[in-house]
Structure 1
Amino acid sequence: MDGILPLWKPKGWTSHDCVAKIRRLYGTKKVGHTGTLDPEVEGVLPICVGQATKLVPYLTETNKTYIAEVTLGSSTETEDSFGEVVEQAVVQEDFSVEQVQQVLDNFIGYSVQVPPMYSAVKVNGKRLYEYARKGLTVNRPERTIHIERIQLLSDIRKEGQRVRFCFLVECGKGTYVRTLCVNIGDRLGYPAHMSGLVRTKTGSFDRNSTYTIEEVQQAKEKNAHLDLLLPLSAGITDLEKVEADADLADRVFHGQKLKMPEGLTGTKQFRIQQGDKLLAIYQSHPSEPGIAKPAKVFHYEQD
């Protein structure tokens, strides 16, 4: 039982709740998710089953796409709408679409971000939220993030003393969209927080390819839940593919080093497959030019 379940995480569930549910439905402990979503956030959460758990680090590294709503006029201790308000201000300006998009454009590329206190980042062996819940503030390590694109999606809505708008952002690993919303507010001159978030894409998996918890349960009742699992190769479509003949498949099965295949476009990693079956992920050898060594090898039950 090996494959990737493209799940749509519902609001109110933790990512661990989803993993626990899939473990029960599929009858295996070998299940992992590919990037934590806060409980009140819904969206694409690929779940790896069986040998697909070896791909968790690769899927965690992929770009994620979100649709977020930012509210100008108040900031909170958690940087989202569920924390206590810590600062308020009346938004007096009538921001234009062009003004806001210009501010958003400034975030494209690499920048430094400080993770929020209410986050799972570890400092001195403890999660930041553990300090925050005790009313403590600690120095947080800066991290470099990358934003591929960011685009305003809605009108600028003035609601009493506050302003709201939605934007789409495609970003790399480690980006806190909550903090991005606060930073956008800073650039516009007002306290701000994230008032809504949906993850619409993780790597090659988008909303249209996902299943809900209810759909997985219904498939289980019909004994068709295994049909929902995608092949392992679906999780690493960004890696160049080498098709294996019987001899190469045998060498890969035994974890042997290989000559770097011809025709690759300078990539340091590539996947080796037989049809849809992912046999291994190889990478260039750090000390032997022209040689590739296995990074991950997959052994299936039928083997």
Structure 2
Amino acid sequence: MDGILALWKPRGMTSHDCVMRVRKLFRTKKVGHTGTLDPEVEGVLPICIGQATKIVPFLTDTKKVYIAEVMLGISTETEDSHGDVVEQVEVHEVPSKQKIENVLQSFQGEIEQIPPMYSAVKVNGKKLYEYARANQFVERPKRKVTIYDIKRLPDEKNNNRYIRMEVVCAKGTYIRTLCVDIGKKLGYPAHMSDLIRITTGSFTRHNTVDFQTIEDAVDQGNQLDLLMPMINGVNHLDTLQVDAQTKRKVLVGQKLARPEFITSTDPFVVIHGEQLLAIYQIHPNNHDEIKPIRVFHE
């Protein structure tokens, strides 16, 4: 049982809750998720099962697309709508459409963020939310993240205090913090009032399944039909196609001569036909060779 379950995570469940539920439904312990979503957030959460758990770090390190909502005038401890209010002001003068557009575009590219106190980022071996719950102040290190694209979406609430936007970003981006920083540039305290993740790598909202669909499939005994091939989780990496003779070497974890076209130091997948065999990289101590970092056994 090896593959990827493209789950639409519901609100009210942690990512770990989802993993535990999938373990029970598929009757296997070898299950892992590919990027934490807060309990109050719904969206695309690829779940890796069996040998697919070997690709979790590579699938986590992909572009994400979010639909986020900023509420102007109120800031909170957690930077979202579930924390205690820290500051509240009246929004007497709503920023113009052009000003909002200019501010959003100013965040495109590589930016610096200070992680929220209520986050799992570790400082001195301790998670920030542990400091926050103990009312302890700790200096948070700035981090560089990448926003590939950010654009405003039509207002659904007919309330100018809210700004809806679509954000395409790299891993490690805190959308909560982005919302707060956008508010600051517009001259108001702000927080993230809603968030949905609609894409992770090649997995989109349209090819996800919910728990009801999974449970129905389990009842009918065809839950394995819901699993996508492992290659779908690493199709953002470069590919090396090999013949049957080389395939046997790859499956036993042998080093290989480096092909000329492999120039990047990034990992790449090795396949035979449509079969995912391994993930390789250029040997760090001998650039004329490539070595396996993950091997998928038949």
The TM tier, using the shorter chain, reads over 0.9
The two structures have a TM-score, normalised by structure 2, of 0.96
Deviation at 1:269, TM superposition (A): 2.5
Partner SS state of residue 214, structure 1: helix
| Kept after mapping to 2: 8 A contact 1:156/1:165 | no
Deviation at 1:75, TM superposition (A): 0.3
Deviations 1:128-171 (A, max 9, x none): 11221222221112211111000001249674xx7111001011
CA distance in 2, matches of 1:225, 1:23: 12
CA distance in 2, matches of 1:95, 1:265: 48
Q: How many residues align?
A: 298
4+ residue segments displaced more than 3 Å: 155-159, 262-268
1:146-161 to 2 correspondence within 5 Å?
A: 146-155=146-155, 159=159
CA distance in 2, matches of 1:174, 1:203: 14
User: RMSD across aligned C-alpha pairs, in angstroms?
Assistant: 1.6
**In the alignment, which residue of structure 1 is the partner of 2:165?**
167
1:39-188 to 2 correspondence within 5 Å?
A: 39-155=39-155, 159=159, 163-188=161-186
**In the alignment, which residue of structure 2 is the partner of 1:259?**
257
Deviation at 1:32, TM superposition (A): 0.3
CA distance in 2, matches of 1:157, 1:91: 16
**In the alignment, which residue of structure 2 is the partner of 1:247?**
245
**In the alignment, which residue of structure 1 is the partner of 2:207?**
209
Deviations 1:234-287 (A, max 9, x none): 001111222222101111011111122244564632211123321001111122
Partner SS state of residue 120, structure 1: coil
CA distance in 2, matches of 1:213, 1:183: 35
Partner SS state of residue 290, structure 2: strand
Unaligned residue ranges in structure 1 (runs of 5+): none
CA distance in 2, matches of 1:291, 1:19: 37
Deviation at 1:187, TM superposition (A): 0.3
Deviations 1:9-68 (A, max 9, x none): 000010000000000011111100000000010000000001111111001111111000
| Kept after mapping to 2: 8 A contact 1:110/1:145 | yes
**In the alignment, which residue of structure 1 is the partner of 2:221?**
223
1:235 equivalenced with 2:244 (yes/no) = no
Deviations 1:100-136 (A, max 9, x none): 1110111111111111111111222222112212222
Mean alpha-carbon deviation: is it higher for 256-265 or for 231-240?
A: 256-265
Partner SS state of residue 46, structure 1: strand
Deviations 1:194-249 (A, max 9, x none): 00000000011000010101111111111111111111100011112222221011
**In the alignment, which residue of structure 2 is the partner of 1:8?**
8
Unaligned residue ranges in structure 2 (runs of 5+): none
CA distance in 2, matches of 1:224, 1:155: 41
